[in-house]
Amino acid sequence: MGWLNRERLGVYPKIICVFYLLILSYLYLGGSGLLDVRGDPIGGDFSHYWVASSLALKAGPAAVYDPDRFLAAQKEFFGIRIPLIWLYPPTFLLLILPLGLLPYLLALGLWLSLPLAALLLVVRRIAPSYLSPWLALAFPGVFMNLIHGQNGLLSASLLGAGLLLLEQAPVTAGVLLGLLSYKPHLVVLIPVALAAGRHWRALLSMGISAGALMAASLLVLGTEVWAAFFRNLPGTLAVLETGRLGKDVLLFTAKMPTWAAAVLLAGGPPWLAQLLQAGVMLATTGIVFWVWFREAPAGVRAGVLVLCALLFPPYEFLYDLAILALPLAWLAWEGHVEGWRPGEQTLLFLAFLTPLLAPIFARTIHLQIAPLVLAALLAMALRRLWPAARLTPS
């Protein structure tokens, strides 16, 4: 990719960021009150984070898991009906509880800016170049979280910081990785990696951190909130497994970058989606254990773990692809330092665009390209475990 040289890499991301800023300004400033130009709440899905924390403080945490009360609270505050119910575990509710003490716009500003700043620092540490933060800002996965107000930036910064600190500060690394347990489907493979890599202090610290977060949620929020969460869990899983909300509305499959969703989106039966995803889960577990058990470059090991963590769960959403910034940074820096194999730069460029392209392909031709790209990146990372006879200099 000779056209994408260092000079252009210094200019293109800044142009993209200006474009993003114009879009955000149009969305947020072109509306009325707390509604954007589309008539949706400013900050998108953050609206139900703030309403959840506010409702928990006013009416008790269990009220958040009552769909009728939650929908009524959203309509009361924003003046419109928002078809978003609360699906997260109480551990996440505990983490966002302080947001309900702040005015909505201030809470939104902190929610977006602090995890974004942390992610930029993490990416700068992974790939120590002045270009890295600009490329991260231009990454569509980051922009998607800024528009929708989602938690992908927080997940990416916790995961990236935890993996970066694994050697120098294993206890701190474990604490950060344990906090990521608010998204349990993303952390399943992390203990596998830590055990295979014999990072026992980090593994113990992670377990204590995750356990402390759950214990704190019980102490602060009470036991009833967990009972309400488990009462709602079968209905939540039914929605996720079928990709449908109600009778007719296809809600999730176009937004889920998983192999299971790819089968459902293409019209395949749920049993085939579950079977394929089960095979992927077994394969990624074995790959993570094998790579972390053997001697391998730290960046390649971390990249493999993150990519497998994204491929493993049957349920995740496009905003989770903010996490893709981490293996992109690790693999790009590996190529910059060690040299490139044929096709690697093109694949990284395609992966960079995937959060933007995936929903377009999904809605137009019912093809979910995200798991295909993630699998190709995983193959690229695994190929880095063997020395090449000929590498193209960076």
Look at phi and psi of residue 343 and say left if phi exceeds 0, alpha if psi is from -120 to 50, else beta: left
Give the residue carrying structure tokens 């330092």: 337
Q: Answer yes or no: are the C-beta atoms of 38 and 27 closer than 8 Å.
A: yes
Per-residue pLDDT tens, the chain, 394 aa: give them: 566 677 878 889 999 999 999 999 998 888 888 898 888 999 989 999 999 999 999 999 999 999 899 999 999 998 888 877 888 999 999 999 999 999 999 999 999 999 999 999 999 999 999 999 999 999 999 999 999 999 999 999 999 999 999 999 999 999 999 999 999 999 999 999 999 999 999 999 999 999 999 999 999 999 999 998 888 777 666 666 655 544 433 556 788 899 998 998 888 898 999 999 999 999 999 999 999 999 888 899 999 999 999 999 988 889 999 999 999 999 999 998 888 888 999 999 999 999 999 999 998 888 999 999 999 999 999 998 887 645 666 5
Q: Answer yes or no: are the C-beta atoms of 370 and 358 closer than 8 Å.
A: yes
Burial class (CB in 10 A: 0-12, 13-18, 19+), 74: buried
| Cβ-Cβ contacts under 8 Å for 240 (sequence gap 6 or more) | 252, 314, 315
Q: Please state the pTM of the whole predicted model.
A: 0.93
Total residues found in the chain within this entry: 394
Q: CA angle, 201 as apex, 195 and 207 as ends, to 5°?
A: 75
Q: Answer yes or no: are the C-beta atoms of 267 and 367 closer than 8 Å.
A: no
* 250 DSSP β-pair partners: 244
**Residue 368 backbone dihedrals phi, psi, to 5 degrees:** -95, 105
Domain locations in the chain as residue ranges: 6-383
